[in-house]
Amino acid sequence: MKIFKDKISLQKEILNKPISFIPTMGGLHKGHISLIKKSKKYKRKTLVSIFVNPRQFSKKSDYRNYPRNKFKDVSILRNLSVNYLYLPSIKDIYGFKPKNKIFLHKFSKKLCGKFRKGHFEGVINVMNRLIEIIKPKKIFMGKKDYQQLFLIKRFIAKNKINSKIIECDTVRQANGVAFSSRNSLLKSNDIKIASKVYHFINKIKKRFDIYNENFLKKKMIELGASKVDYIENYNIKKNFVKSKKYNKNCKIFIAYYIKNVRLIDNI
């Protein structure tokens, strides 16, 4: 595996090579591993980036506390025979003016966009820059961050960028909890709470219309959540129209805290 810390050296290496790209913020887990394995099936060169993007954090403390373990991450990537690892500095990412303009679909103001000011602007900004640097043919992203996935797809389509997003299913622990870098901040009892929340939502989803949002939030608090930002049902086949009833075209989106750790999921 070749490791690059500056974009000039990376671009020289991958020039004219069809690249499959997995953008990450590190803290690699089985979800990331599944993305890499899927990428390798396409028999292209696989490039993983690790960059904790400061511009998508609304709180400095959240940025500082984000899980980082570069030694472990590099070891995982070597064992998976990843071709390239990009470890850029903040200056390397933000030290140039990108060609494409930021485009945020109106759905960016819902869900996490409502509770995390500037979050999606930061996400699209860094993805715009990474795509311009790498020029990947395919980008592999998980469905756990479904709102983010949707917004990046719309940004790519709006700017007619020649990169295709490959959507990958959420990978879960046996207890139902979606793998996330932030899970490393949770204790064993916290994981049990997250499991209870997942099973509760999964159990009631087909009867979602008989409950109101306040009741569902209260129930999540009773299960052990410290705070609930939202629990909302959207039809993802109809351009994210909010729906009272749950069906195969819908996803229930949740964001909640266990102590000071914020977790998101869609079920």
123-179 residue pLDDT tens: 999 999 999 999 999 999 999 999 999 999 999 999 999 999 999 999 999 999 999
Residue 176 belongs to a domain? no
- Within 10 angstroms of residue 60's Cβ, the number of other Cβ atoms is 9
Amino acid at 61: S
Active-site choice (29, 32, 105, 119) = 32
Are residue 151 and residue 229 in the same domain, yes or no? no
pLDDT at position 43 over 90: no
8 Å CB contact between 73 and 84: no
Residue 175 belongs to a domain? no
56-103 residue pLDDT tens: 998 899 999 999 999 999 999 999 999 999 999 999 999 999 999 999
Q: CATH number, domain at 146?
A: 3.40.50.620
Residue 124 belongs to a domain? yes
Are residue 29 and residue 67 in the same domain, yes or no? yes
Are residue 139 and residue 198 in the same domain, yes or no? no
pLDDT at position 240 over 90: no
Are residue 163 and residue 192 in the same domain, yes or no? no
Are residue 153 and residue 52 in the same domain, yes or no? yes
Structural domain of 203: 181-266
Return the pLDDT at 66: 95
The reply to whether 105 belongs to the active site is no
- pTM to 2 decimal places: 0.96
How far, in Å, CA of 179 to CA of 48, rounded? 18
Return the pLDDT at 64: 94
Share in percent of the chain as helix, strand, coil (round to 5): 45, 20, 35
Q: CATH number, domain at 233?
A: 3.30.1300.10
How far, in Å, CA of 28 to CA of 8, rounded? 25
Mean pLDDT of 195-215: 96
Are residue 194 and residue 147 in the same domain, yes or no? no
Are residue 69 and residue 162 in the same domain, yes or no? yes
